[in-house]
Amino acid sequence: MSTTQSDRLRGLVEPLVAAKDLDLEEIEVSRAGRRGLLRIVVDSEEGVELDVCAELSREISEKLDETDAMGDGEYVLEVSSPGAERPLTEHRHYVRATGRLARLQLAEGGELVARILAVDEDGIDTEVPGVKGRKPTARRVEFAEIAKARVEIEFNRKDKKEEEA
């Protein structure tokens, strides 16, 4: 996608996303056969409900129909949330992942799977699970040490709402 098209789409879409108190995480334009594919990823502190994605999709579609931002050809519009194993690329992503297990690819090499306990401007405080009956250990990881990070799916972890009940 050209920078001009990207900037134009962002300018059209961002106000609609912000009006729903959501963050615009990603805009991706690609080809799917003869059709274009416009994928828009949104998120918020509380997550994104399916109904909100559907409503936002209708609003974005109407806005795009008023312009020629997608050109003359056919295209498919997808509006979704980042998904369960989302990459952590922004400071706010780490804040939202507090309490979750994350897989960190370290810049010096190696990998760390740890629970994010706290986030500040410079890095994260984590708890590395103990192995074979050992107690978990605390570890500080600076953002500069992280090459890639992704939330891990936990099938047996209780939801915060369940813990509060």
Domain ranges of the chain: 3-80, 91-154
Average pLDDT over residues 54-80: 89
Written as six digits, the tokens of 82 are 């980042």
Can you tell me which residue has the tokens 């780490």?
A: 94
Type and span of the H or E element at 60: helix 50-65
In angstroms, the CA 84 to CA 101 distance is 12
Pick from 33-37, 90-94, 158-162 the range whose average pLDDT is largest: 90-94
**Cβ 125 vs Cβ 140: under 8 Å:** yes
For the entire predicted model, the pTM comes to 0.68
> In the predicted model, is pLDDT for residue 158 greater than 70?
no
Other Cβ atoms closer than 10 A to 122: 10
The pLDDT score that the predictor gives to residue 45 is 80
> In the predicted model, is pLDDT for residue 67 greater than 60?
yes
pLDDT band at 162; cut points 50, 70, 90: very low
> In the predicted model, is pLDDT for residue 44 greater than 90?
no
CATH 1.10.645.10 for the 3-80 domain, yes or no: no
Which CATH code for domain 91-154? Answer: 2.30.30.100
pLDDT band at 161; cut points 50, 70, 90: very low
In 54-144 the beta strands, taken as DSSP E runs, fall at 75-80, 101-106, 111-119, 123-128, 137-142
The pLDDT score that the predictor gives to residue 110 is 92
> In the predicted model, is pLDDT for residue 1 greater than 70?
no
Indicate the angle between helix axes 50-65 and 3-19, nearest 10 degrees.
Answer: 130
Q: Which residue has the higher pLDDT, 157 or 150?
A: 150
The pLDDT score that the predictor gives to residue 160 is 52
In angstroms, the CA 6 to CA 1 distance is 6
Span of 10-14, 91-95, 132-136, 161-165 with lowest mean pLDDT? 161-165
Average pLDDT over residues 20-31: 89
In 33-158 the beta strands, taken as DSSP E runs, fall at 35-43, 75-80, 101-106, 111-119, 123-128, 137-142, 146-151
Per-residue pLDDT tens over the stretch 121-148: 999 999 998 888 889 999 999 999 999 9
